[in-house]
Amino acid sequence: MLDYLISRFNSFTLGSDITAENLRPQIKRNFKYIPASKIIIICLPGWGGKLNKWKFLEKYASGSRASFLAYEFPRGIFSDQKDRTRELFEEVNTFVRDEIKNLKDKYKFEKCILVCISLASSYGSLIYKDNPDINEIILVAPGEDIAKDMWHGCRTQHFRKSYEKQGFNEAQLIEAWSGLASKNNFPTRGAKIKILLGRSDGVIPYEFSHVLVEIYKQFRLNVVERTFPLGHYFLISYFLLLPGHFLQL
């Protein structure tokens, strides 16, 4: 119930003025290079996630002699504007994918670990799709289909109402955003995937998240699933506070 109430106060994200043309100057990043490191951990935040959320993971990376890169994207990249949301996710994909390639070429990293929190499982899947520069992927409280997750998730009901007023139903949005759905985007065969799920998740319902696991397994990808008796935010907090429990460097 609290999340539904909070959703009502999120209405300021409706009608976002973020565009593909003005997005890049608004992206924040924190890059820390460890000399002679062979590993880089790249972190993609959930909706509205801030750079300071990653401080424990950054400390863990530094202690493990791994380089670190985290992003912060404007909250308006996800909105009630169907085409603009798709364009912004694709722009994030181009920006981050190019940066990963450039960093690997410059610093000769041998392993790239991509961490995606919540909503980042969608635009993150665009980044790791058929991307040989990414060796490992960790998805924390992910969804399988961003349109379906938004339509039923308890914190995005203001978006659903706006789309309904525009005349869209769930099926139409699923079709329009099919290219953004994690279930339709696959990493290279050699990539390792770890998916962390919360059985009590109401933001992205557990049954939706688990579908992603089954689809990736069906395609014989290297997937490890770990399920916890936690809700969305407790699971994310658990990962962010104790990243060493989930990462193996």
**Residues 144-167 pLDDT 10s:** 999 999 999 888 889 999 999 999
Computed from CA positions of residues 179, 180, 181, 187, in that sequence, does the dihedral angle turn out positive or negative?
positive
Nearest residue to 149 (alpha-carbon basis) of 94, 53, 85: 85
Residue type, 135: N
DSSP 76: G
User: 145 by DSSP, 3-state: which?
Assistant: coil
Kindly report the pTM of this predicted structure: 0.92
Where in the chain are the domains?
A: 2-244
Helix H or strand E encompassing 4: helix 2-9
Annotation: CATH topology of 2-244: Rossmann fold (3.40.50)
**Residues 128-148 pLDDT 10s:** 999 999 999 999 999 899 999
